[in-house]
Amino acid sequence: SFNGALSGVSVHELGTLVIKEALKRANVKAEEVSEVIMGHVLTAGQGQNPARQASVGAGIPYSVPAWSCQMICGSGLKSVCLGAQSILMKESTVVVAGGMENMSQAPHVVQMRSGVKMGDATLQDSILTDGLTDAFYNYHMGITAENVAKQWGVSRDAQDQFAVTSQKRTEAAQKAGYFIQEIV
């Protein structure tokens, strides 16, 4: 959760742990990987190419290409699609693909490259500017959800009912052990 127990763990450290565990569970050696594609949105302050950092941290050789995909909330799924495409096109044989993010580490930023001659400088929350604010219409993604609900005639009550049902299903699935192989 936001600012929770994993808030101090960098995105590439989270990615490293997941990649290591995925390789272990799939019985694949790091040397067998031919490409790594990781989706994530908030890269400010995380260093160059966090996907490469996670890949190398997981023991995958430096010679293996590792790169990031950024499609906002669809980044992880798009990475999986790109990995499948790479295999289908015979460009790769084994691809590690997925998503990684730690919103708790997204910094506040200030545009100071050319300095401030007079007056205040404003901090911007990179979660909002880089992740949750539409770049074309300048509104929060929560507004997008409202617009889509209105467009398709989904009432607030129906949304709440769906959310409750989803939470109940998740709880039941966790208790039944369905996520044991899904969660690292």
What pLDDT digit, counting tens, does each position of 56-85 carry? Answer: 999 999 999 999 999 999 999 999 999 999
Residue 64 lies in a domain: yes
Same domain, 111 and 184: no
Residue 184, token pair as written in the block: 């690292």
* Torsion sign across C-alpha atoms 75, 80, 86, 88: negative
Q: Which of 74-78, 103-107, 134-138 has the lowest mean pLDDT?
A: 134-138
Model pTM score: 0.89
CA distance 158 to 48: 43
Would you state the pLDDT for residue 120? 92
pLDDT over threshold 90, residue 167: yes
Would you state the pLDDT for residue 113? 87
Distance of alpha carbon 87 from its chain centroid, rounded?
22
**Total tally of structural domains belonging to the chain:** 3
User: For residue 66, what is the domain's CATH number?
Assistant: 3.40.47.10
**110-134 burial string, b = 16+ CB within 10 Å, else e?**
eeeeeeeeeeeeeeeebbeebbbbe
Q: What is the dihedral of CA 111, 130, 7, 69, to 10 degrees?
A: -120
Same domain, 89 and 129: no
For residue range 14-48, list pLDDT tens digits in order: 999 999 999 999 999 999 999 999 999 999 999 99
